[in-house]
Amino acid sequence: MRPSRLIAGIALLLMIAGLAGYSRPAAAQGFGDLVVSPTRVELEGRNRSATVTLTNRGAESALFRISLIAMEMDETGSLKAVDQPPAGMLTAEELVRYAPRQVDIPPGGTQTVRLVLRKPTDLAPGEYRSHMFFRAVPAEDAGRAIDEKAGQGGVSVKLTPIFGITIPVIVRNGDLDVKVALSDLAVVPDKDKKKLTFKLTRQGNKSAYGDVKVEYMPAGGGAPVVVGEITRLAVFTPNTERKVEVPIVVPPGTTLGKGILKVLYRQVDGDTTLASGEVTLP
């Protein structure tokens, strides 16, 4: 068959950045030329509305469609979109109204998306979670170019990547609680460095959300030295545990010898310690 008679499809690559399970220190999160702030929305009690700001840092206008989707977290913290939520997961799509549903942001411009909670009076107690998905919309002619290679009998197809950002939108209703614990702490090789691994276990009807800090306490005494951090680490319901890896970064002037690595899982933007553990270095 001649190449000119072949029908070539357009391959669209979908890249979703699931911000909630990730560790980033800033209140804003970017992917490509889009920056989203904040990276997490919580609606509970008298807090029944919120705004999310989108900023286009690119040199061209950017079009985004906005939707609420269900995302499942695995034991490593990775998120994936699902059509059917897993057993025990409550979603917020029917509880949250938002506008606009599509935005066209000029270079250097911003756009605000407003969210409002519409909670029925008979809503059962629990934590309801969905993710707001900001999906880039490519130009109409993107990915349509098909080049025939003269004399070679081949066809090349242009791939157009489509990216998006997701942030969690969480609705809480009723008296909820969460308890977390650390276990299975170990220091293992990581190429030419080391990393600390442990299991974070969650109990209750509320997600866990906190910052991880690893401190080195020398055996001979002295002030603790921070050698590892992960910010904004979550264990979403209905998951009961998450495997965590923290790269060990020893600051200049410090030698990691005998002593203790102390791990603290603390409330974000607070001093409350949710869980702690330690491992002895020989």
Q: In the chain, what are the domain boundaries? A: 7-173, 178-281
Residue 224 has pLDDT above 50, yes or no: yes
- Residue 253: what pLDDT? 87
Q: Which of 182, 184, 234, 187 is nearest to 208 (CA)?
A: 234
pLDDT tens-digit readout, 55-86: 999 888 989 999 999 999 999 999 999 999 99
Q: What HEC string does 178-220 produce?
A: EEEEEEEEEEEEECCEEEEEEEEEEEECCCEEEEEEEEEEECC
Only one residue has tokens 């970064």, namely 249
Residue 148 has pLDDT above 70, yes or no: no
Residue 276 has pLDDT above 80, yes or no: yes
SS3 94: coil
Residue 110 has pLDDT above 90, yes or no: yes
Q: Which residue type does 96 have?
A: V
pTM to 2 decimals?
A: 0.82
- Residue 147: what pLDDT? 54
**What is the number of H-type helices and E-type strands within the chain?**
0, 22
Read off the pLDDT of each residue in 101-112 and give the average, rounded to a whole number: 95
**Chain centroid, CA 208 distance in Å:** 14
Read off the pLDDT of each residue in 114-131 and give the average, rounded to a whole number: 96
- Residue 164: what pLDDT? 85
Q: Which of 60, 68, 11 is nearest to 34 (CA)?
A: 60
Mean pLDDT of the chain: 85
Residue 4 has pLDDT above 60, yes or no: no
User: How far lies 47's CA from each of 7, 173, 274, in Å?
Assistant: 53, 11, 24
d(CA 34, CA 8): 30
Lowest mean pLDDT: which of 95-104, 142-151, 174-183?
142-151
Quick check: 12 and 3 in contact, CB under 8 A? Answer: no
pLDDT tens-digit readout, 238-272: 999 999 999 999 999 888 889 999 999 999 987 89
Q: Taking the CA atoms of 188, 222, 23 and 116 in sequence, report the sign of the dihedral they define.
A: positive
Write the class of the CATH domain 178-281: mainly beta
Confidence of residue 162 (pLDDT cuts 50, 70, 90): low
Residue 112 has pLDDT above 90, yes or no: yes
Residue 1 has pLDDT above 60, yes or no: no
Write the class of the CATH domain 7-173: mainly beta
- Residue 20: what pLDDT? 41
Residue 32 has pLDDT above 90, yes or no: no
pLDDT tens-digit readout, 174-204: 999 999 999 999 999 988 889 999 999 999 9
- Residue 137: what pLDDT? 87
Confidence of residue 14 (pLDDT cuts 50, 70, 90): very low
Confidence of residue 27 (pLDDT cuts 50, 70, 90): very low
d(CA 127, CA 250): 39
d(CA 47, CA 128): 15
Residue 151 has pLDDT above 60, yes or no: no
Domain 7-173 and domain 178-281 have a common topology: yes
- Residue 13: what pLDDT? 39
Q: Would you state the structure tokens that stand for residue 35, as one six-digit string?
A: 């920056």
Residue 5 has pLDDT above 50, yes or no: no
Which residues on neighbouring strands pair with residue 17, listed in sequence order?
A: 165
Residue 92 has pLDDT above 80, yes or no: yes
Confidence of residue 156 (pLDDT cuts 50, 70, 90): low
- Residue 138: what pLDDT? 79
Whether the bond into 252 is cis, omega within 30 of 0:
no
